[in-house]
Amino acid sequence: MNATRDHCLELDASDLLSPLRAQFELPAGVIYLDGNSLGVLPKAAGSRVQQVIEHEWGRELIRSWNSAGWIDMPQRVGDKIATLVGAGPGELVVADSTSVNLYKVLSAALAITRAGAPERVRIVSERSNFPTDLYIAESLARERGFELILAEADDIASLLDERVAVLMLTHVNYRTGRMHEMGALTRAAHAAGALTVWDLAHSAGAVPVDLKGADADFAVGCGYKYLNGGPGAPAFAWVHPRHADRFWQPLSGWMGHAAPFDFSPHYRPAAGVARYLCGTPAVLSLAALECGVDTVLAAEPLGGIEALRRKSLALSRLYTELVEARCAGHGLSLVTPRDDAVRGSQICFARDEGAYAIVQALIARGVIGDFRAPDILRFGFTPLYTRFVDVWDAVEHLLQVLESGQWREARFNRRATVT
C-alpha cells in the first residue's frame, strides 16, 4: 500500500465531484461513514421544510393541497427517484415505509402468481436478507399458505424451480455489501416461472440500478439512506407497468382510489402504480426527501450515478487496502467482496471480539460507522460528501483504537438500544 495522506489530499483536489459536498451540513470534526444507514442533512432541507411550515401550512393552510401541489408530491418525488433506478415516469410512488411497501408489492406478486399457477408455493430469499424483509415475507407466507425458503447467496439460483412463486432479494446485502446481479437473477427467476421483488434500500442513489433493463417485476426502497431524506423519510414502491393494473394491493386506502375526492363507499383502484398509495401523504417528510433526492440528481452534470459509482468504488478500495495494510494483525476479517462488480457502497469487517466496542470508540473520536450483530464493523461511503482524506483519517483512528486497546473501556462496551 503506497497511499499517503498527502496522496489522498491530491485525489480530493482533482475530484470533479468534490463541489457536491457543499450541499450538506457536515459537523466539524466528524468523519461520517454511515450514510448507508442515515444520510447527511442537505443544507436546502431546513429552509424548505420551514417554508412548508410557515407559508404553505401556516398561511395557505388546506389550500396548499392544490396551490402548493401537496397532493402530487408522491408522484413528483417518485419521478425523480425513478431516474435513479431505471424506471419510467409515472411508474414509481413515494409513500409509507419500506416494510409497508414490501407488504404491498409482495402481496401483489403472490396473488398474481397464485392466480396463474396455484402449485407455486415458495418464496425464496437470502438467509442474511434484512430482517424486516424476512419478517414481512414470513407473515405473508403464513397468512397466504406459502413457504419461505432461505438460502445462502451462492445457492439461490439453484432453488429456482416450478415450486417458486417469488424471488425476493435485497440488491445490496446490508451486512456484507455484496451486490446481486439483478439482471441475471431476474432472468433465472422468469425462466423458472417466478416473479421478482427487489429491495433497493442500499442501492438507490449509491449504485447504478436499471429496473426496466433488468426486466424486474416489483421493487421497494428507502428514502433516508443514500437519498438523504432524513430519519424516517418515506420509502418508495415501483411496479413494472405490465403488473400495475393486475391486482388490488391489500392496503387499499383512499389515496389509492381512482377518485379519492368522490368519497365513494366502494373502492375503485387508481390506474397504474398510483393504486399503491394508501393514506394521506406525509408532506413535511416528502419536502425533506425531495431535497435529499435533489442532492443526488445534482451529480447529473458531473457524470451522474456512474460518476458517483466510480468514486464510491475508489473510496471503498482505498479503505480496504489501508485497513488491511495498516491494521494487520488486529483480527479484522473482510466480509465484503473485493470484486467491484459485486460490491455495493460499503465495506464491512468482522472481528471475533469487541466489534461493537470498537465502533463505539471510533464514534467517540468522531468517526461514525455502525455495528451489525453479531460481529460486523460497517462503514458506508457516500461519494457525494465523503473525501479520500476522510478515508485515510478514519483508518488512522481505527489503528489507534486497536493499538491502544481503547475499545476495552467499559463505556464502549455498554450496549445502547440502537447499534
Active-site hit among 32, 146, 224, 276 = 224
Decide if 43 is catalytic.
no
**Residue 386 CB partners (closer than 8 Å, separation 6+):** 32, 33, 35, 315
Active site residue 226: no
Residues in a beta bridge with 126: 151
Alpha helices by DSSP H, listed for 262-344, are 283-297, 304-326
Q: Which of 120, 378, 381, 412 is catalytic?
A: 378
- Grid cell listed for 168: 425476493
User: Residue 259 contacts by C-beta under 8 Å, 6 or more apart in sequence?
Assistant: 268
Instruction: Yes or no: say if 362 and 368 are a contact pair by the CB < 8 Å rule.
Output: yes
Candidate list 79, 96, 133, 199, residue with the active-site label: 199
Cell of 223: 428514502
Dist CA 212 CA 227 (whole Å): 20
Q: Largest Cα–Cα distance of the chain, in whole Å?
A: 70
Q: Which of 225, 311, 365, 387 is catalytic?
A: 225
Q: For the residues of 10-64, what is the DSSP string, one character each?
A: HHHHT-TTGGGGGGB---TT-EE--TTTSPPPBHHHHHHHHHIIIIIITTTGGGH
Among this protein's residues, is 349 annotated catalytic? no
- Residue carrying C-alpha cell 416494510: 99
Residue 278's contacts (CB-CB under 8 Å, 6 or more residues apart) are 95, 96, 100, 104, 251, 252, 253, 255, 256
**From 24, 32, 130, 356, the catalytic residue:** 130
For residue 224, report the phi and psi dihedrals to the nearest 5 degrees: -110, 5
What is the bridge-based pairing of β-strands 122-126 and 147-151? Answer: parallel
Give the active site residues: 130, 199, 224-225, 378
